[in-house]
Structure 1
Amino acid sequence: MRTPDLNVAAISPLPAPAELLATLPRTPAQADFVAHSRQTLREILFGDDPRLLAIVGPCSIHDVAAAREYARRLADLAYELDDRIVIVMRAYFEKPRTVGGWKGLLLDPHLDGSGDIARGLQLARGLLRDILDLGLPTATEFLDPVSPQYLADLVCWTAVGARTAESQPHRQLASALPMPIGFKNSTDGNLRNAVHGIKAAAQRHTYFGLTADGRSAAIHTRGNPDCHLVLRGGSAGPNYSAEHLVEADVLLAKAGLHRTIMVDCSHDNSGRVPERQPRILADVTRQILAGRTALRGVMLESNLFAGNQPHPPPTGPLRYGVSITDACMDWSMTQQCLRAAYRSLAPRFVSAPAPEPAFAK
């Protein structure tokens, strides 16, 4: 009788991380750009760089060709706005599911439930390299503690999501990752779980992991001091108002943490209506100009075309450039709201020295 693996249908070996990194290596230029971008983001989030950090892009990547087109457009916009807003492209390959559904490009790249993770890793790593080559920093959310071994060297900013901020494995992982990390408040709006997560990630941990050649190992971490809070709203509604920001600021101060806050303009802050995101971004910029120094960044969900579509589609093929997860605003609205934020932020830079460019086009 089979008992140890009774519910395992199959086991498909994957290449060791070192094998994939050798097949799709990070170039010296990409390595330098990632290091420079991470430091730039640290200066914005925790230092004296007055620019606004904007994590912008699709809710999830399911079509690499569409993502590349989006990245080319975003790179041009990023170059245009760089002296006041530093744009980082959202490249999410893993999706948390409450009950079921598509789990992201990494786990299901063919969109058919075949679970070809090896191909998903290749596509994700290839896309990250392409985005970096355009001069765009990259952002993602790591859900599986193993996936960073394959991708983290190409990522400049990471999120710990609302469903995982309370998770010990994710706090341990965050303590090891070498980039700034945003912890989101819980789906019910609770901020304490994220604050506790930030504090835990700053500490040393030991946990199960993999070596570069794919062997099981004990990972010993130093702790990550570059974590911050992301307000994404909750079941009770939005949480980006002045009152909410004061509450978050007090919690961070009491915990002895960086008083650094990012506002996710999507999710429960927008009621999942993407067209509300520009209004939220405008509110954030007004609060920054009013002296909310803890406010350092925003997140926007954006794609080539507006809305979302069901997967699998009821009839015909999927529409190009349209999300299959959360609804996004379209490219035109993305340009308009970021350019409006750029104009609004002008008073902040009247007497400030020109910041060093985030990248060279």
Structure 2
Amino acid sequence: MNASISALPATHTAPSVSIQRLPTAAQLKQHLPLSDSLRQLVSRQRQAIRAILNGEDSRLLIVVGPCSIHDPVAALEYASHLAALSHELRDDMLLVMRAYIEKPRTTVGWKGLAYDPHLDGSDDMAHGLTLSRELMLEMLGMGLPIATELLQPMAAGYFDDLLGWVAIGARTTESQIHREMASGLGMPVGFKNGTDGGVAIACDAMRSAAHSHRHFGVDAEGHPAIIQTPGNPDTHLVLRGGHSGPNFDRNSVANARAGLEKNAIPARLMVDCSHANSGKDPLRQPDVFNDVLAQRLQGDHSLIGMMLESHLFEGCQPLSSTLRYGVSITDGCLGWDATEQLLRAAAAQLHAQRQAVQAIA
């Protein structure tokens, strides 16, 4: 016997782990079902996003909304504004609502509505899952496509029937588990470049997700299962900058496009106007957005869309007992008024270009 092991005191025990059962994905979907009309709507939304990715639809894809949802009332107010604007700008843009209910943490912190809906560390995940699904259903009822980042694969089954678009974050793009999950999702998936700003990891992820996989998983009834996926052809790259700085400029976009083409991956790119691309300053997002828009207007149709972090009011605030309404408690956001102005101005430019092209034709 190893001496170091035999020398351990007899009273040494491993720390206990607390386990509390949650409703299964099937149970929550039965409790909060997706109606036939909304199921058809989600199918049409996914197909519209695919059409943009495939160059069959010339509109810009804009994923916009709060960095994270923490207040259901404020989130629904924001969604109502976005739904009205989406209808108005529908000929030039497809607006997709950010409904982020999970947040990655570098160390510790609030993990999102699905984890801690009461914002008090009680981690009432059963209520968080229910509340998150209720919110997404209400947003769908407004006609909005729903986008989220899938962080915990076990949580994906609670919402996968509601989503029009999914992000895989910079920290998880390299994860085999997330690549396998993406290969089985029925909607388009955007892989963010790695935190170093390079695109090689995301290229590997897209190639992996395009293939069929057999992997360990959990079925809708909560049982361990072997999952066989068909592969997902509807993936694309999301440029979000990295440790060395932004990567939305023309040279960076050209290099990213070359990296995709080298790997025989369709050249379709979205730019995240936040994170390292804005230097984590939410008020710089319009500068990034307009730069990318100019590239698109000048003929770079590999740029299929942008992401914006936006809430009712600009900035962010620490989590506390006295929160300001409509202000993010995670990353800083652009306010709604500035967001609306930015999107209207962009749509006007896109509309003018479309009319000019039609006049020539």
The alignment's TM-score, normalised by the length of structure 2, stands at: 0.94
1:341 is matched with which residue?
A: 346
Matched, 1:21 2:5: no
Secondary structure of the structure 2 residue equivalent to 1:293:
coil
Q: Report deviation, 1:3.
A: 9.1
- Cα distance in 2 for partners of 1:2, 1:155 equals 50
Larger radius of gyration: 2
Q: Report deviation, 1:293.
A: 1.3
Q: Does the 8 Å contact 1:165/1:184 carry over to 2?
A: yes
- Cα distance in 2 for partners of 1:246, 1:65 equals 42
2:55 is matched with which residue?
A: 47
Matched, 1:318 2:320: no
Q: Does the 8 Å contact 1:128/1:154 carry over to 2?
A: yes
2:282 is matched with which residue?
A: 274
Q: Report deviation, 1:7.
A: 3.8
Q: 1:336 to 1:2 in 2, by over 3 A?
A: farther
Opposite residue 321 of structure 1, the aligned amino acid is G
1:357 is matched with which residue?
A: none
1:129 is matched with which residue?
A: 137
**Gap runs ≥5 in structure 2:** 1-9
- Cα distance in 2 for partners of 1:3, 1:199 equals 47
Question: How is 1:201-212 mapped onto 2 (pairs within 5 angstroms)?
Answer: 201-212=209-220
- Cα distance in 1 for partners of 2:91, 2:147 equals 20
Q: Does the 8 Å contact 1:45/1:297 carry over to 2?
A: no
- Cα distance in 1 for partners of 2:15, 2:338 equals 47
Q: Report deviation, 1:352.
A: 6.5
1:34 is matched with which residue?
A: 42
1:60 is matched with which residue?
A: 68
1:356 is matched with which residue?
A: none
Secondary structure of the structure 2 residue equivalent to 1:14:
coil
Q: Does the 8 Å contact 1:281/1:341 carry over to 2?
A: no
**Cα deviation 1:83-130 (Å, max 9, x = unaligned):** 001100000011111111111111111111111111011011000000
Q: Does the 8 Å contact 1:285/1:344 carry over to 2?
A: no
1:263 is matched with which residue?
A: 271
1:332 is matched with which residue?
A: 337
Q: 1:262 to 1:8 in 2, by over 3 A?
A: farther
- Cα distance in 2 for partners of 1:92, 1:334 equals 18
Secondary structure of the structure 2 residue equivalent to 1:56:
strand
Q: Report deviation, 1:319.
A: 1.0
**Percent of aligned positions with the same letter in both sequences?**
50
- Cα distance in 2 for partners of 1:187, 1:260 equals 20
Pick the aligned partner of 2:94 from 86, 110, 116. Answer: 86
Matched, 1:154 2:162: yes
Question: How is 1:223-302 mapped onto 2 (pairs within 5 angstroms)?
Answer: 223-302=231-310
Opposite residue 336 of structure 2, the aligned amino acid is W
Secondary structure of the structure 1 residue equivalent to 2:153:
coil
- Cα distance in 1 for partners of 2:304, 2:196 equals 23
Matched, 1:194 2:199: no
Q: 1:18 to 1:288 in 2, by over 3 A?
A: same
- Cα distance in 1 for partners of 2:33, 2:298 equals 45
2:179 is matched with which residue?
A: 171
2:7 is matched with which residue?
A: none
Secondary structure of the structure 2 residue equivalent to 1:61:
coil
- Cα distance in 2 for partners of 1:52, 1:186 equals 24
Q: Select the structure with the greater relative contact order (CA < 8 A; seq sep ≥ 6).
A: 1
**Cα deviation 1:56-103 (Å, max 9, x = unaligned):** 000001111110111001100111111001100000011111111111
- Cα distance in 1 for partners of 2:87, 2:109 equals 36
1:180 is matched with which residue?
A: 188
Aligned residue-pair number: 349
- Cα distance in 1 for partners of 2:314, 2:301 equals 32
The alignment's TM-score, normalised by the length of structure 1, stands at: 0.94
- Cα distance in 2 for partners of 1:55, 1:293 equals 17
Backbone CA RMSD of aligned residues: 1.5
Q: Report deviation, 1:351.
A: 6.1
Opposite residue 180 of structure 2, the aligned amino acid is Q
- Cα distance in 2 for partners of 1:330, 1:283 equals 20
Secondary structure of the structure 2 residue equivalent to 1:75:
helix
- Cα distance in 1 for partners of 2:159, 2:11 equals 35
Q: Report deviation, 1:47.
A: 2.8
Secondary structure of the structure 2 residue equivalent to 1:209:
strand
